[in-house]
Amino acid sequence: MKPGIKSHFIFWSSFIIAVIIIVTSWQLETNLGADVRIMEGTAHYVNLNLPFVYMRASRDNVVCLNGNPLSKKAIQILAPVHLEALSLGEVELELSLFGLIPLRLVTVNILPEVRLVPGGNSIGIRLNSRGVTVVGYYYFESEGQNRSPSREAGVRVGDVITAIDGEQITSINQAANLLGRTDREPGGPVLLTMVRDGHKKTISVTPLYSELDGGYRIGLYIRDSAAGVGTLSFYDPATGRYGALGHIIVDADTNKPVDLRDGNIVKAQIVDIKSAQRGKPGEKTGIFIDQGSFKGNIEQNTPYGIFGRLDSFLPSQEAIPMALVSQVEIGPAEMLTVIEGETIGHFQVEIERLAPQSRPSDKGFIIRVIDEELLAVTGGIVQGMSGSPIIQQGRIVGAVTHVFINDPTRGYGIFMEWMYQEAGNYRQIKDKENRRCKGWEDCNFRRREGIFPRMSKIQSMT
């Protein structure tokens, strides 16, 4: 071959291979995540049509490719691509061009089937925070001026006061008693220890005399607890754990997450519903029933819901399989929630859009309420429905988290897999099976705050 022709041949061959690598890598990046989870005995479909790509596994006989067990020997990928789970465990799949040029490494976790009892029950939620939360400034007249000594000293709304003059506090009553001690020097400085944005801080505040109150005040509104109505998402009969809400609980005044000390959930009875309208969210009104058929504690307040254990719970429904993110589809589904009393209703919804996710988020899909009965009563999604489970094709796939203010018939949902994972259940399965499973342990994902609708205001003036 002449030198000129040879150089052209090398150039165009290299160019074509480079194009193939770029296009193939883009398709793999788009259609196949770096982490894939498959339930044991099920298949995972991948939309790939790449005739030059080969696949091999780090371990034998863990997954099948189109019916053929994968091994350490590379085999060609032929469309359509189905990965089938053979046994529990973790395996790494290497995809390469022509079986020679590595393109992508994918970690596949084969998980045991999880069966959960769908919720839908209305629950009363009580949370107690660590310390007392500053929710506002109290202005009073002192020496002819409206003053708030705490604001002037640098205390901010949202600060969590954990100690006064070095003594730990957990409630409003403790704070009031410490500030009103008879042995305190009138007008003497008060040392407030607080947490602000995760950092400990100490501020000295000098109280002023309030002519209206007839005593010295530091000028703050504080709160030590929060309460509201939500919906139970799931109960795990294997562990006794539950998940609810699907998003974090934030303080109604500061819009910051409640720093949970402890809390509990009880049955709630819905006595009224304010229908939603465009631009005006609706809401459920409920009463707490402390001696109902179930009660539980609150151990976690996370961006993906609240979690804990139920001490007593008599499920009204059978446990059903939990869907992985990859198993959720656009199309008809069913939402479970209460609109009157304690009766769980089954209402038709449509999953309109899915967000491809390999890491947790409280906004994984969009649903639209199409059930005429529910629309007539509530106008769509209302406050208090957060956590209502979504059922599709006999699986529990997710829970309602947010409503679109300008279109209350639509809202966001969280994938149930993320709630189940956040509850720590995958970790318990791992410990039980005594297997190394990196994907199950990695829970330090990027977190986003949710919106907890209208927590009741329980506050005190100091």
pLDDT digits (tens, 9 = 90+) for 40-83: 777 777 777 677 788 888 888 888 888 888 888 888 877 777 78
Note the pLDDT of residue 24. Answer: 67
> Looking at this protein, which amino acid is placed at residue 394?
G
Lowest mean pLDDT among 36-50, 97-111, 190-204, 219-233: 36-50
Q: Rounded to whole angstroms, how far apart are CA atoms 425 and 72? A: 32
pLDDT digits (tens, 9 = 90+) for 343-362: 999 999 999 999 888 788 88
Across 208-222, 366-380, 442-456, which has the greatest mean pLDDT? 366-380
Note the pLDDT of residue 252. Answer: 78
What are the tokens at 13?
């061959």
Note the pLDDT of residue 25. Answer: 67
Q: Where are the beta strands (DSSP E) in 120-259?
A: 122-137, 140-142, 145-147, 160-164, 167-168, 190-196, 199-205, 208-210, 215-217, 220-236, 241-244
Q: Rounded to whole angstroms, how far apart are CA atoms 96 and 139? A: 69
Q: Residue 26 — φ and ψ, nearest 5°?
A: -65, -45
> Cα 204 from chain centroid?
37
pLDDT digits (tens, 9 = 90+) for 275-334: 999 988 899 999 998 876 688 999 999 999 999 999 877 777 899 999 999 899 999 999
The CA-based dihedral angle spanning residues 193, 168, 452, 306, taken in that order and rounded to the nearest 10 degrees: 130
Residue 193 pLDDT > 60: yes
* Band of residue 444 on the pLDDT scale cut at 50, 70, 90: very low
Note the pLDDT of residue 275. Answer: 92
| Secondary-structure percent of the chain, ordered helix, strand, coil, rounded to 5 | 15, 45, 35
* Band of residue 426 on the pLDDT scale cut at 50, 70, 90: low
Domains of the chain from N-terminus onward:
3-111 (2.60.40), 115-124+227-441 (2.40.10.120), 139-218 (2.30.42.10)
Note the pLDDT of residue 42. Answer: 78
Q: Rounded to whole angstroms, how far apart are CA atoms 99 and 94? A: 9
Spatial contact of 294 and 288, defined as CB atoms under 8 Å apart: no
Average pLDDT, the chain: 83
User: Which residues fall within 8 angstroms of residue 185, CB to CB, at 6 or more apart?
Assistant: none
Pairwise pLDDT comparison (8 vs 401), residue with the higher score: 401
Lowest mean pLDDT among 14-28, 101-115, 348-362: 14-28
Distances (CA, A) of 447 to 171, 247, 310, 352, 360: 28, 10, 26, 24, 8
Closest CA to 426 of 109, 117, 85: 109
Closest CA to 328 of 381, 378, 399, 387: 399
Pairwise pLDDT comparison (48 vs 369), residue with the higher score: 369
- Print burial letters for 306-342: b (CB count within 10 Å at least 16), e (below 16): bbbbbeebeeeeebbbbbbbbbbeeeebbbbbbbeeb
User: Which residues fall within 8 angstroms of residue 381, CB to CB, at 6 or more apart?
Assistant: 276, 369, 400, 403, 408, 409, 410, 411
Note the pLDDT of residue 8. Answer: 65
* Band of residue 152 on the pLDDT scale cut at 50, 70, 90: very high
pLDDT digits (tens, 9 = 90+) for 134-149: 999 999 998 888 999 9
Note the pLDDT of residue 27. Answer: 66
* Band of residue 22 on the pLDDT scale cut at 50, 70, 90: confident
Residue located via tokens 């479970």: 336
What are the tokens at 3?
């030198």
What are the tokens at 71?
């091994």
> Looking at this protein, which amino acid is placed at residue 64?
C
Q: How many other CB atoms sit within 10 Å of the CB of residue 99?
A: 17
What are the tokens at 304?
């993906």
Q: Rounded to whole angstroms, how far apart are CA atoms 47 and 370? A: 30
Note the pLDDT of residue 443. Answer: 27
Spatial contact of 195 and 160, defined as CB atoms under 8 Å apart: yes
Lowest mean pLDDT among 17-26, 173-182, 249-258, 444-453: 444-453
Positions annotated as catalytic residues are 247, 371, 386
Mean pLDDT of 114-141: 92
